[in-house]
Structure 1
C-alpha cells in the first residue's frame, strides 16, 4: 500500500477515538466512531486473502449495524430533549439503544460472535489494534453516560460476557481466538462496575491494554498462531518462557500480579453496593479463565512436544527480534500491584 495512504489511514485511526473521547456532543462522538470504523477496514484487507476479506466484511456489517442503532438513539434523544448532549434524564429507550449499540461495538455477549472470527481472520498486528485501540472510543462513551446506564441490563451483559469468555476459551487452540475470548471476558468486568465507579472501568481498561500488548508482541515476534507452535518457544527463545507465563497469569488475575488489582477493586466496589451475588459469581467464573491460561503455560513450559534431535539441540535466537518495549510493558503488567493505593488516589 502507498505510504501516503497508510499515513492517512493511521492518522484517521488515531483521530477517530480522540474526537470521541474529547467531545460531549453525541453526534460528534458518532462521527469519531465512524472514522475509527472506516480507517481500520483497509488495515484488515492490506494483505489480500479470503480470510482477511471475510473478516473485514463481518466487521464492517456488524459495526455498521451498531452505528445505525446508535445514530437512531441520538436522533430520538434530540427529538425528545432538543439537545445533542448527554444528560441524566435521558429517555429509557434512548439509553437502552445506546447500550445495545456500544455492546455490539465492544463485542459483549450475546453480541460477541463476530469478535473471535474477525480476530482470527486478520494479521496479528491488526488484531492487537482491534482488541485494544478500538475499545477506547466505545468505552469513553460508556464512561460519559454512566449515570444513564440501566443497572440490570449492564450487569446481565457483564455476567454473560464473563461466562461466555471463560467457557468458550476452554475449547480454543488458536492464540488469536484465545485472546479474543479473553477480551470478551475482560470487557464484562469493565462494564460490570461502570455504573458504580466509572474510574475503575478506565483503570481496568488501561491495565488490560498494558497486559495485552506484550502478549501480542511475543506472539507476533515468534509467529505463534496456535498452542502447538507456542510449545516450541523453549527451544527458540527460552528466556521468553517465564516472561510470557507471568503475563498470562497476570491476565488471569492471579495475585500478587498486576492483573489481580482491577478484579480486587471491582469485587470490593460491588460488595460496597450490595451486589454480593454478582461479585461471587464473577469471581468463581474468573477461575475458568485462570485455568485455560494455566493450561497454555503447561503446554508451553512444562511439556516438551516431540521434535527431531537437531531442533532439540539448536537454539534459533534472532537478536534483531528483541526490543525494549516488551520487557518494559511486561514489568508494568506484572509488578504494579504494590502501587494500587497510589493509582487510586
Structure 2
C-alpha cells in the first residue's frame, strides 16, 4: 500500500502512476477478503472489477494523449477525449457519482480497519492525479458530478442502519465538496481531503475499539468507553461541518472560494445538500451518546473495558474537533 501510494504521488509519467495504482489495488484486496466471509469475498471481487476497469480507462486515456501530443507527462493532458476518459477513470476509483455503486457495498463487506483504508489512504493517489491534471479537466462536468455526489451521498445516507454504509455515503458526499473546488483551488481540495482523512480515521478507529457496526450496537456501546463515545460524537459533528469544529473549515473555505469564482448557485446548492448529511450525522451522534436504548435490545450490556485508548485515536479525535483555530 505504502509503495503503491508513494509511486503514484511521486510520479510524473503516466505509466508509473498507473503501476502505482495497480500495486495499491492488489495490496488492498487481501485485506478486504481477510475474513473469508462470503460478503467479504464478494466485496473484494467488486472492488477488483471496478478498479481494473478504472485502471484500463486511465491507461487508455494516457495512451490517447500520448498518441496525439507525444507527451507522457501527467501535467500535459491536453487532449479533450483523454481528459474525459481520465475524469471517468478517477471518478470510478474514488466512487464519485455516477460511478459510486461499488463503494458502499465494498465498505460494508470489509472489516472496519480496511474500510478506513479504503475511505482514506486508497483515495489519496487518485486525488493526487486529479490535482496534477486539474488545469485540463472540464469544469462543467466536475461541478455536475460534485453536486450529484453531495446530493446522493446525503440522500442515500438517511435510511441506513449499517454504520459502514453511512460512512460510505458520507465519503461520497465529501468527495463532492472536494471535486467542486478542484479546478479553482486544487490546494483547497487537498486540504479538505487531509482533514476528511483525519476525521474519518478517528471515527473508524473509535468504532473499531467499541466494535460498533450497526446503530443498535452503537446505542449500547456507551457503557464500554463513555469518554471515547463522547469524542466520537464530537468527531461526527465535525464531519457534519458544524462551526466550532474542524469540519467547518473546508466547507467555509470552499463556499468562500466558489463565491469568489461567481459560482454562488453551486455554492448555495451544495451548502443546502450538506444539510442532508447533517441529519444522519446528528442521528449517529445521538446514538453514540444515548444513555439508554429507547427499546429493548437483544444485546448484552457491555461494561467498561480496562484496555487503554490508543494514542492515535486520541490525537486524531482531538485534531478532528479542535483544529479550526489553526486556520489561516
- Give the TM-score of the pair, scaled to structure 2: 0.96
Is it true that 1:298 corresponds to 2:291 in the alignment?
no
Aligned residue in 1 for 2:208: 220
Partner in structure 1 of residue 320 of structure 2: 333
Question: 1:198 aligned to 171, 177, 186, which one?
Answer: 186
72-81 or 43-52, larger mean C-alpha shift: 43-52
Corresponding residue number in structure 1 for 2:227:
239
Corresponding residue number in structure 2 for 1:316: 303
CA distance in 1, matches of 2:85, 2:3: 25
Tell me if structure 2 keeps the 8 A contact 1:221–1:321: no
How far did 1:234 drift? 2.3
Q: Hey, what's the Cα distance between the residues in 2 that align with 1:172 and 1:303?
A: 21
How far apart, in 1, do the equivalents of 2:166 and 2:210 lie?
17
- The ranges of structure 1 where at least 4 consecutive aligned residues each deviate by more than 3 angstroms after the TM superposition are 86-89
* CA displacement at 1:289 relative to structure 2: 0.6
Q: Is the contact between residue 110 and residue 157 of structure 1 (CA under 8 Å) also seen in structure 2?
A: yes
Q: How does 1:10-89 map to 2 (within 5 A)?
A: 13-87=1-75
How far apart in 2 are the matches of 1:86 and 1:219?
A: 38
Query: By how many angstroms is 1:281 displaced?
Result: 0.3
Aligned residues of 1:235 and 1:311 also touching (Cα < 8 A)? no
C-alpha distance in 2 between matches for 1:33 and 1:300: 36
Q: 2:23, 2:144 → 1: CA distance?
A: 30
Specify the alignment match of 2:164 in structure 1.
176
Cα separation, 1, equivalents of 2:291 and 2:155: 24
Residue number among 99, 112, 115 corresponding to 1:111 in the alignment = 99
Distance 1:209 1:230 in 2: 22
5+ residue gaps, structure 1: 1-12
Distance 1:297 1:76, change over 3 A: same
Q: CA deviation at 1:295?
A: 1.2
Report SS of the residue matched to 1:170. Answer: coil
- 2:261 equivalent to 1:273: yes
CA distance in structure 1 between the partners assigned to 2:286 and 2:74 by the alignment = 48
1:153 Cα deviation after fit? 0.5
2:322 aligns to what SS in structure 1? coil
CA contact (8 A) 2:230 2:288 kept: no
Q: How much has 1:194 moved relative to structure 2?
A: 0.5
Q: CA RMSD in A?
A: 1.5
Give the paired residue count. 326
Looking at structure 1, the residues matched to 308 and 91 of structure 2 have their Cα atoms a distance apart, in angstroms, of 37
Within 5 Å, give how 1:134-153 maps onto structure 2. Answer: 134-153=122-141
**3-state DSSP class of the match of 1:254?**
coil
Give yes or no for contact 1:210–1:333 (8 Å, CA) kept in 2. Answer: yes
Partner of 2:155: 167
Give the drift of 1:241.
2.6
Separation in 2, partners of 1:270, 1:51: 41
How far apart, CA to CA, are the structure 1 residues paired with 2:124 and 2:288? 32
Tell me by how many angstroms 1:48 deviates.
1.1
